[in-house]
Structure 1
């Protein structure tokens, strides 16, 4: 096992962010240890979500091979992508990404099998019995297709949405409306039978928030884990997304305490969709990059103190491919800069902040 020297480990704490912004950095911007290699030295996996952008940009594709060891299918395996039309299942996007990853020695996380949001309109016209049959069919066909090829599946995504006012704060949608809360253990059991090798995962948003909404979801999530344990439903890991948005209240300390509570349930923990919304940060790009890096540093310092955290995934790898570049989002008229690599695929201060957080993790 390779470890960074003390000098390398302390580089960020002693001015690494400033050095990263210096003119001299450009010449060696992407040389030396990678996020994947530094993470591996601390018994972590680092990766990013991946989409068909990689097939249109050779340099971006190469960056994944260099900097990551695990990737998450971004939208290619969501129900709405696979089954945009009734009676037709299109797995071509997922096939291409899984084939690319495996050909390049990258592990793959399947995302997401069952989610009550982002459903095609045609599903709304189905009867309850038809939805139940579709539930089974989609899990059977999708999990069987990739059985033995995935590290893990986000079997159920975002089960909670308190604003829907459903019992126990569940998110309403076709699966919940047809099956009730039992859709969660049913999906977990069905996925396990079809692919015993993949780690069965629940993935949730909002838990990193320390406002009333986030605290409500945390409580509901812990209760669900305990209920699944009582029902002997399979569950290997839980994922927490980590979209860090400035309009919400946060306490990295409180989130870490919550992660310790989850870890007591004997589950691995993944950070699955990490990025930093910079919409309220400074206009000056260098200052904004430093603020983004500081946010990564604080969050990861607390999260990585929890030994059960095994994976950190950013949502995409470079700024120009981030969903935060959607023009419909509030960006104050400037391109968002939420990720560790910039538009030219060069390392940013966020890269150094992530690297330093990995290197400082005790094992």
Structure 2
């Protein structure tokens, strides 16, 4: 659902190629602001973060400073997806992801890894694989464990499998992983990730929890079945790419049903579309901005109502309206995030704070 782009700045041979990761210079950061003790995250009782663009962190001081001040958790928007990290069978590219991890370390932020296994953002060599299932199983395992091992002790948590279900229904998506490895590839992905870093928290991540019961129940049944089998799964990620006119009942059901698993709950990719009708030529008005604030408040309030030990945090998908994937994907104006394109807080920012008051 999200746009995909990355910049390859440094190539290094990975574990699959040479049995160990090749050494390369530590990423050199531009001046990083000190660890923030205020900002939005400091006003909330759970972590608050954003999926961030590494090129903007590198090159845009306003963007970098805003993330440093307002967030205490970050996710790579694209830099940790399969095609970015593993562009060919015996090649792993670490530079962008390492840069982001170093930025997080210097500015006191948790890093959530996104994503190990997905049906999109796949390099052609994986998408078009035509070898044996046994060989592909080894590739699958090595891919997961090379990446998780590389970031062991630096990345706190992972979206191990992302979007395994079809768009609206409760059926498993016929991805290359499922076609070759069978339905239980999901369980094995979690096992392999846990072997590589037993301390990392492992999440199943998907969208559509708030659409209605069909897909939501399929996701919950999968997660509960993994948990019942003793598969090392620690949390459920609810993307929550939602819209201003989604019903209160559906939003509440999505959050409370996820919490009913007993696992940690991460609202992992939150944005609220204000123009889902894709109307051309409109602008954000004060009334529309206030409506968005009430929706952010409602979601945060519902999330704050689940048990504290299950509150992994809320993450927005990118930082400002100017960086959001939504307008480009929909082909129409939209303003889905708490900050405007000029890096200023919108009423939604205050709505998030009011959600925990």
Q: Map Cα deviations across residues 234-260 of structure 1 (whole Å, 9 max, x no partner).
A: 1111110010136xx733334423433
- Alignment correspondent of 1:306: 306
Greater displacement, 51-60 / 118-127: 118-127
Q: Residue 162 of structure 1: CA displacement?
A: 5.6
Are 2:335 and 1:337 equivalent residues in the alignment? yes
CA drift at 1:338: 1.2
SS in 1 for 2:315: strand
Are 1:133 and 2:138 matched, yes or no? Answer: yes
Q: How does 1:33-48 map to 2 (within 5 A)?
A: 33-39=38-44, 42=45, 44-48=46-50
Contact 2:251 2:299 in 1 (8 A): no
| Secondary structure at the counterpart of residue 147 of structure 2 | helix
Indicate yes or no: 2:95 matched with 1:89.
no
The answer on whether the counterparts of 1:70 and 1:109 sit within 8 Å (CA) in structure 2 is yes
Comparing 217-226 with 277-286, which one deviates more in the overlay?
A: 277-286
Instruction: Summarize the alignment of residues 104-115 of structure 1 with structure 2, pairs less than 5 Å apart.
Output: 104-115=107-118
Pairing 1:117–2:113 present: no
RMSD: 2.2
Aligned partner of 1:100 among 98, 103, 120: 103
Equivalence for 1:148: 153
Contact preservation (8 Å) 2:47, 2:312? yes
Task: Indicate conservation of the 8 Å contact 1:51/1:97, yes or no.
Answer: no
Which position in structure 1 is the counterpart of 2:203?
A: 201
Shift of 1:99: 1.0
The correspondence for 1:72, drawn from 72, 75, 93, is: 75
TM-score by length of 1: 0.80
Contact 2:48-2:73 at 8 Å conserved across structures: yes
Q: Any gaps of 5 or more consecutive residues in structure 1?
A: 1-31
Are the counterparts in 1 of residues 210 and 253 from structure 2 also a CA contact under 8 Å? no
On the 8 A contact 1:162/1:170 being kept in 2, the answer is no
Q: Contact (CA 8 Å) 2:38, 2:69: kept in 1 or not?
A: no
Residue in structure 2 matched with residue 297 of structure 1 by the alignment: 297
Q: C-alpha distance in 2, partners of 1:284/1:58?
A: 27
The runs of 5 or more residues in structure 2 that have no matched partner are: 1-36
Given that 1:256 and 1:306 are in contact with CA atoms closer than 8 Å, whether structure 2 keeps it comes out as no
User: Residues of 1 paired with 2:121 and 2:81: CA distance?
Assistant: 9
How many residues get paired? 313
Aligned residue for 2:8? none
Q: CA offset at residue 114 of structure 1?
A: 0.9
